[in-house]
Structure 1
Amino acid sequence: MQAQLNKDERIEIRISPHDKRIFQKAQKLSGDKSFSSFIVRVVKKEAEEIVAKNDTVIASERDRNIFFKTVFGDSKPNSKLIEAAEKYKSQADLL
């Protein structure tokens, strides 16, 4: 069940007659009941994709920075990492 929409906000745009005809034709072909609902649905979908892509890029950039700082930084390994390395080395010697 979709939450009730708050329709207090309004957006006004100017478009060419050609664009409006294309948009209206697409709206009729899409099955949307109104021109406004079509425009909102299409713009919202595109906006969500743009935001998701941007969020992915930002997360990737953040992860890249963390990785390089960890690998090439001057921080010392903690005790758990040292223990894990020693355990790995002892198991590798058995092979």
Structure 2
Amino acid sequence: MGKHYSSEYKEYVCKMVAEEGRKASEVAYELEIPYTTMTKWVRKYKKDIQAQNSKHDYVTPSEFEKLKKQHEKEMKALQEENEILKKAMHIFTKKTE
């Protein structure tokens, strides 16, 4: 029967390899963990991290259209506000003679 490791320990080991760039074989030797076991942990860890990051990377075409319309509305409102401010500045900076 093999050893059981806590999830915190597995995450610590995976971070050593995946984020710190240490060699998996060296870490496995230092911590006396079977190399194949540790590489399975690291592979799963990288897959989980990638899945978390990819959730926010993609936008469906319908979401894109909604965002585009929202952006266009905001731009139009800002342009109108800018025009009003230009007119107000022109009025207030006129010299009264």
> TM bucket by the smaller chain?
0.3 to 0.5
Q: Which has the higher contact order (CA 8 A, sep 6+)?
A: 2
TM-score norm. by structure 2 comes to 0.37
TM-score norm. by structure 1 comes to 0.38
